[in-house]
Amino acid sequence: MRKFFTTDLGRLRLVGFLEGTSLLILIILGMPLKYYFGSPELVKLLGPIHGGLFLLFLLQTFHFSIENSWSFKERTWKVALASVFPFGTFYIDSTILRKL
């Protein structure tokens, strides 16, 4: 667990997990609560948090790719694009990041 806080790769994986989890909570819980039940509180609370985690994930991705001389064509764009899709960060973590 300590490696998630002490290494660049660990921090990237941790932020990816948090970003992916916040996106799923927004989609699975927040959107139905807002549009079907008229209760937008969860979206108002979690929306900015997810936005911050999204930006932090992108910054962490570019930082890690520069520090480790990743090729943009081979890895960086895949990792950055993964944060846009539900389950994307989890997929990238299991296929690319965990192997490093």
pLDDT in tens, 25-47: 999 999 999 999 999 999 999 99
Q: How many residues does the chain have?
A: 100
What ranges do the domains of the chain cover?
A: 8-96
Helix (H, G, I), strand (E, B) or coil at 47: helix
Rg of the chain taking only CA atoms, in angstroms? 15
CB contact set of 86 (below 8 Å; sequence gap of 6+)? 20, 23, 24, 27
Query: What stretches in the chain show pLDDT beneath 50?
Result: none
Query: How crowded is the C-beta side of 48, counted as CA atoms within 13 Å?
Result: 3
